[in-house]
Amino acid sequence: MSNPVIDEQIRILAKQLKLPTFVNYTEITRQAAPDSSMGDLLLLLMKSELEQRQENQNHKRLKQAGFPYTKTLDELDLGRYNGEISTLFVNELASCKFIKEHRNITMLGNPGRGKTHMAIGL
């Protein structure tokens, strides 16, 4: 059972410590096993906070990128390339290994072939 005084204190401290997901601690702890230790619960809360921060960072980066629209590689219709581009090739590009190797990629083709879609997806 939840205590309103404690809930309010947690809300205030979570805000001051910049741990917004801790406010939802009751929801997060419900997902834990009934025999979870305090350490298990704390770990679950911290993982939830980390996931939320990573998600927020990704949203921020996408917004800063200024893409004209959101596209993913999963939405890319490889059928339009008549077998010229394989799923294996797209997966290799998606690994972004070319960035670690300090290599460039060039996308050439007529308008409407999906170059922008692929670039945004990557």
Do 27 and 61 fall within a single domain? yes
**Cα–Cα distance measured from residue 58 to residue 64, given in angstroms and rounded to the nearest whole number:** 10
Span 63-120, pLDDT tens digits: 898 888 888 888 888 888 887 888 898 899 999 999 999 999 998 888 888 888 888 8
Q: Are residues 49 and 8 part of one domain?
A: yes
pLDDT at 4 over 90: no
Please tell me the predicted confidence (pLDDT) of residue 23.
Answer: 87
The answer on 92 and 60 residing in a single domain is: no
Dmax of the chain from CA atoms? 64
Same domain, 9 and 60: yes
Same domain, 84 and 31: no
Residues 53 and 78 in one domain: no
Residues 52 and 84 in one domain: no
Question: Is 79 found in the same domain as 52?
Answer: no
Please tell me the predicted confidence (pLDDT) of residue 80.
81
Q: Identify whether residues 24 and 57 lie together within a single domain.
A: yes
User: Per the confidence metrics, is the pTM higher than 0.75?
Assistant: no
Q: Are 21 and 53 members of one domain?
A: yes
| Domain interval for residue 103 | 73-121
pLDDT tens digit sequence for 31-68: 888 888 888 888 999 999 999 999 999 899 988 988 88
- For residues 1 and 52, what is the distance between their CA atoms, to the nearest angstrom? 26
